[in-house]
Structure 1
Amino acid sequence: MRLIAKGLACRRSGRRIFSGLSFTLDPGEALIVTGRNGAGKSSLLAILSGRLSPEAGSLRAEDVGERTIPECLHGVGHRDGLKSALTAEENLAFARDLLGAATLAPREALARMGLAHAAGLPVAYLSAGQRRRVALARLLVCRRPLWLLDEPTAALDAASQAVLAGLMRDHLAEGGLVVAATHQALGLTTARELSIEAFRPAAAAHTDPFAETAR
């Protein structure tokens, strides 16, 4: 898969958050999106996932056949998107059945994230870090070439961050793509960095950096 963005612009609640944003990702490449809180990192990921339409610009994928971009991606956002009443294994089984193209079994994916012991526990009983690892394990139960990750290391300890870095490196080695918005280093030494601040209009640069409308 090849991902091409040209001249993307985003407007939220009547304010332009960024404009003129362009990049190309070839197979095996990672893009780290940086910027202060409220700069528009999450909005960019929402555009890439198809949850938000850009005000201007274009986005296309090559070498994906008849699939759309949303059909080619995994997204992990601020919210873990887990069903609290279901066990960790049941949450992953649901994702596998919904998304198709199964790769690892749910228990195997949990074991990769160091959660084999928690497979049968309702996720409501898990810590924030454990819930985050269950959410990240969804990346492993079905094969999708594009990973969109919003602050993926949130709530993870150092050991779990190292595991995530290994998973991303393996994904890139297989020709996958990673776009990650983060304030922290992710252990991807070959990743390119895109500072979203460089694409913010002058007027937007003076808005409240913590404004929810810019997320």
Structure 2
Amino acid sequence: KQEKVEPTKQEQASLSEQIRAVRKIINKIDTPNLTSTEMNTNTEKHLANIEATHINIFQMLYDLKRRVEQLESNQQSTSGKPIESQPAATNTDDDDDNDIDLFGSDDEEQSEETKKCLVDYTAKKANKENVIAKSTIVLDVKPWDDETDLEAMEKAVRSVEADGLVWGQSKLVPVAYGVKKLQIGCVVEDDKVGTDFLEEKLCGFEDYVQSVDIVIFNKAQ
């Protein structure tokens, strides 16, 4: 709740002077149609309105002053010190030199750090590019019948050579009625040797090979 403020002595004197001036003006007005009682009543009302208006003005000015002081107090408590006007910065040759020296070291450190990051990134990228994608494949090579020379068939299979192809272990697996198939593994580089290539080459040995099936296909780690 805002406190009421009484006018100061100086303000009261000013108000009294204005009231006296108003009284003088009213006394000079020719009011033949008004009785003395009516005139006095109107004058008193007018003076009361003037006095109330002045008091309201004083109250508003006081409230405004209090509000400004409160804002300044809050601002000072936030910043920890009174707000002072900052002088305009002047650029001199010495200041420019100091700025260059001051920030030059930071730029140099950032430049060195950037170069280091680029070197690390390039090395990692090169290592990643050097990693060759490989796959492990197990093939079932089926002969025509039980009279097929399986040893000769395996020799023919291993005769297939290509860049990125390495043959692994093999074994004979029984199928039915005395027929056995050749199960052989190999490791291939994905971008050089594919399953279509292997099937085409092995099926080319028509004297031994009836069909070729891919049993296992795993990406090498």
Say whether the fold is shared (TM-score over 0.5).
no
Query: Highest Rg: 1 or 2?
Result: 2
| Greater relative contact order structure (CA < 8 Å, 6+ sep) | 1
Higher strand share: 1
Task: Please identify which structure carries the higher helix content.
Answer: 2
Q: Report the TM-score when normalising by structure 1.
A: 0.16
